[in-house]
Chain A
Amino acid sequence: MRLLFEELKKLFTVKTIILLLLVSIIIYQMFIVFDFKHFPNGRPVLDEFLATQKMLEDYGESMDEDEFEDFKSIYDQRINEATQYLQSQDDMVAAGLDSYTKFKSIDLENEKLAALHNKVYHEDYVDVFWEIPAREDMIERYEHPERYIQQYGQINEKQKARIEELMKNGAATAIFSYQVFENYNTLIKNVAILIFLSIMLVILPLYIGDRRNHAVFLQYTSKVGRTLFTKKLLAGLIASFIVITVQLVCFFFLYKGNDISMFLPLTLHSIYNAFISWYDITFLQYILLTVVSIYLIGLALVLVTACISSIAPNYMTSVGLHVPLAFILFGVGTTYLVQNLTTLYLFKYLLPVLLAAILSLSFILFWWKYKREKWKDIT
């Protein structure tokens, strides 16, 4: 235990912690903060999100026919409100735009009318005019659930059967928000990239440091001997667990500000979401799945990075060897193993198969290195 603590101390030096903080701040500023600041991003996306929140408050997890009628009545109310607004504006009335129906069919080629249209949307930001198209779209989706299937284009029989099953089981009436799902996916991908980069930074000196300054001569001739190789790995795993956990805690603390807690117990399968999973999961379960996936990829990454650290003759080579690994992990890796998990577009068992394969391969690679290390001449 003491030794483990000593090895952890060597991984978390003041320099490393400062570097981690700097990298985290830069990545947050460049790629993550935007999706917090601008959620929901733009209009009528914001209005659709607010309408969905209202739906959840009023109708619960799904919207039946009666509730849909109520939803439509609110839409009609909004039309009236828009009409009242137009009638209260002299310039609108003078231009003959005294009802929402007239305003909607406005000729945007007409510069004068286009200016009035622009004034409502982009100068006065009249909320009701943004809310109406958002609600319109939601009504259309409810009335035409077949479009939910059509958006998937070319699908095979199994995929088709899955969608039909979901439709039968309530997807047509379930309430969810595509913005919430998309926003989480974008955020978690960037957070995962930050986490994997942090792991690389922490684990990179795991073996290379002691090998390069010849501390290994003293370590391997001590009582602990070459078993230190596995003890260092354990320290690396604990360090990575700490890094992942701290990063995730920070992220979810910020994510809490998005105020999406009401979506957590909802199923992902809804006509208001463009994502279909092979499995019946809620948004919270999906989030947990991404977290588990990040931890497992983190574990595999520690094994691979540790191997590189034990093989690379110097830091430059080590960094060089990490470049293709980062390229694959940050690109393809996060796309298939962190984002859109269990999507209907891909093979049903892709996630467990890929994770198992990655973990097995990295474990075998490390085991091979450990076996070699045990009987290697230390020159």
Chain B
Amino acid sequence: MLLVEEVTKNFGKFTALKKINIEFHNGVYGLLAPNGAGKTTLIKMLTTLLFPTSGTIRYEGHDIIKMDDKYRELIGYLPQEFGYYKNYSPTAYLLYLAALKGIDRKTAVARVKELLKIVALDHVATKKMKKFSGGMIQRVGIAQAMLNDPRILILDEPTAGLDPKERVRFRNLLTNLARDRIVILSTHIVSDVESIANEIIMIKNQEVLYKDTVINICRKIDGLVYETEVDYGDTEKFRSTYLTLSEKQETGKMHMRFLTTEDAKPEWKTVHPNLEDVFLYIYQDEVPSAGDDFDD
């Protein structure tokens, strides 16, 4: 179990996270918040890149800072931006990272081969990465995070650059992995986590707002989400009156999905809220904060 206890992180006078408490068990956790909310700050504390200003993070009861390399050898991390050497092949690069992770060369060679196959890069295993697309680089990143078969897999915006097919394959991979480990997935793309996360963690105003299952979180706005059709001419007025969640042109009218606490009108059709609706509702008034300077 990974336990975040009363963790606060300040950057000078700016508070990025305030008294955060989270418990992680095996499974997929979706860390969902808009850019600048403090997701990366939390992730960097979980990976020991940042040190909490106060509070502690414990793994199996031990402070991760004191565990030092014993903790780091348990984690796999894919940062939002990760450095790679353009003139290295994925194999050479992964072998370098395997050396950093303390994996012996023989094991590393076999593991690298296996992982490159998993992320469908085995056909370019010895090609220089300078010609790789963003998606291919991201897959190298995913492979490196899994090199040491980590007990805690922490992924920051892992699907950036992946095409839909790769995203599906990636989600399936995570679901498999999460059976016997903690997988923490930070994203602002709701669809990345909606179908695979056992729990969603939402951060707002530097604090954890929700940590619950997708169903339970969606319940928070149950009965408040509707769909209706609006004439084109009335679209602007509608938008300014209600929180529109999605819009679509259909049969000469605008099909609006929206959220309101007003009593339902006859032409409105009540629909089941999804995680994206909750996200838009929660963060409707969110403006980029000073935290943008530090993370995300």
A residues lining the B interface (CB < 8 Å):
2-3, 6, 10, 13, 210, 213-225, 227-228, 375, 377-379
Contact = CB atoms under 8 A, between A and B. Distances in A.
A214 B83 contact: yes
Contacts of B295: 379
B48 interface: yes
B81 A10 contact: no
Given A377-B49, A378-B44, A217 B96 contact: no
Given A13-B87, A223-B72, A217 B79 contact: yes
Contacts, number: 80
A217 B81 contact: yes
Contacts of A379: 11, 44, 50, 294-295
A207 to B, nearest CB: 12
14 contacts: A6-B99, A216-B83, A217-B79, A217-B82, A218-B83, A218-B97, A223-B69, A223-B148, A225-B48, A227-B69, A378-B44, A378-B49, A379-B11, A379-B294
A228 B96 CA distance: 13
A237 to B, nearest CB: 19
Contacts of B79: 214, 217-218
A313 to B, nearest CB: 15
A132 to B, nearest CB: 65
Nearest to A219: B100
A32 B144 CA distance: 48
Contacts of A227: 69
* Most chain A beta carbons < 10 A, residue from B68, B79, B144, B295: B79
B87 A222 contact: no
A213 B84 contact: yes
Contacts of B68: 225
A3 B97 CA distance: 9
A218 B140 CA distance: 12
* Most chain B beta carbons < 10 A, residue from A13, A213, A221, A225: A221
B50 to A, nearest CB: 5
Given A215-B82, A215-B85, 17 more contacts: A3-B100, A214-B81, A215-B83, A217-B47, A217-B77, A217-B83, A218-B83, A218-B100, A218-B144, A222-B97, A223-B148, A224-B100, A224-B101, A227-B69, A377-B44, A377-B51, A379-B44
Nearest to A377: B50
Contacts of B77: 217-218, 221
A61 to B, nearest CB: 56
Contacts of B134: none
Nearest to A224: B100
Contacts of A217: 47, 49, 77, 79, 81-83
A377 B10 CA distance: 11
A2 B85 CA distance: 18
B245 to A, nearest CB: 34
Contacts of B144: 218
Contacts of B294: 379
A14 to B, nearest CB: 8
Contacts of A6: 96, 99
B84 A215 contact: yes
Interface in B36-55: 44, 47-51
Nearest to A9: B96
